[in-house]
Amino acid sequence: MNQPGLRERKKRKTRLALIDAALDLFAAQGYEATTVDQIAAAVDVSPRTFFRYFATKEDVALSSPVDGQEVMLRELAARPAEEPPFVALGHAMRAVVTALQEGDLTETARFLKTRELVESTPALFAGSIRRMMENERRLIAEIARRESTSPDDLLPHFAVSLFTAVARVGFESCHPRSPQDLPAFGERLEQILALAERSLRPGWDRPRSGADAARPGG
């Protein structure tokens, strides 16, 4: 049993406790109105300790979607190389949604709570977008790797950028609140992916003739 030591388990526990306490307080009285002191007090921990687990108050609120992005990237890397970029991205996203539907209930609940919070809190919305964009860079790199082109090629940028656009429209036009809403959300995503596919020329996301190369900082 390669079980982590007591210390590790304890840390894991307080971390989750802090997240859940924070999410509950945020939902009850709003993100801005909740102080870090309150969160720390709810878990019986000193405020200073809170900042040893999370760099910022924003971090504790957005810790959950980060995991989703990790899943997404892993799934993308696992897609067969023959799939065109946009198709592979679509499948990776589907995998995230199914993981959400079939995964741990408490974790799914955290994810949904966070989504609601992000929607209703501009500051968190900005932070969420920022993380999404940092993740974009990794997606671009992965697509470039798959297609054996440079990450500075315009095509991976465009493909990923267009994909995030689709994902964003999905979240803007459908707001899942409970696990039961997830199937409908999945369907909505399919609808938008279909719209995108219908709007695009077949083969658009495959490199051609190397004409669109771009150097960074140009």
Partner DNA sequence: GTAATTTATGTCAGCCGCTGACAGATGACA
Partner DNA sequence: TGTCATCTGTCAGCGGCTGACATAAATTAC
Residues near a second copy (CB under 8 A) are 122, 125-127, 129-130, 133, 152, 154-155, 157-158, 161-162, 164-166, 168-169, 172-175, 184, 188, 191-192, 195-196, 198-201, 204-205, 212, 214, 216-218
CA angle 43, 117, 31 (to 5 degrees): 55
Q: Which is nearer to a second copy, 75 or 153 (CB)?
A: 153
Q: Which is nearer to a second copy, 107 or 197 (CB)?
A: 197
5 lies in the binding site for DNA (CB under 7 A): yes
Q: Are 39 and 49 in contact (CB under 8 A)?
A: no
* Token pair recorded at residue 211: 């004409």
14 lies in the binding site for DNA (CB under 7 A): yes
Contacts of 93 (CB under 8 A, 6+ apart): 72, 163, 167, 189
- How far separated are the first and last CA of the chain, in Å rounded? 54
Binding site partner of 34, from a second copy, DNA, none, Cβ cut-off 5-8 A by kind? DNA
What is the Cβ-side half-sphere exposure of residue 154, based on CA atoms within 13 angstroms?
Answer: 9
Q: Which of 148, 192, 157, 202 lies closest to 172 in space, CA to CA?
A: 192
- In the set 12, 37, 106, 175, which binds DNA (CB under 7 A)? 37
Q: How far is the CB of 50 from DNA (least distance, A)?
A: 8
Q: Is 45 helix (H, G, I), strand (E, B) or coil?
A: coil
Integer Cα distance of 214 and 218 in angstroms: 8
* Only segment of 50-58, 63-71, 103-111, 201-209 that touches DNA (CB under 7 A): 50-58
Q: Which is nearer to a second copy, 45 or 154 (CB)?
A: 154
Q: How far is the CB of 63 from a second copy (least distance, A)?
A: 17
161 lies in the binding site for DNA (CB under 7 A): no
Integer Cα distance of 206 and 156 in angstroms: 9
Which residues of this chain interact with DNA, rule CB under 7 A? 5-8, 10-11, 14, 34-37, 44-49, 51-53, 55-58
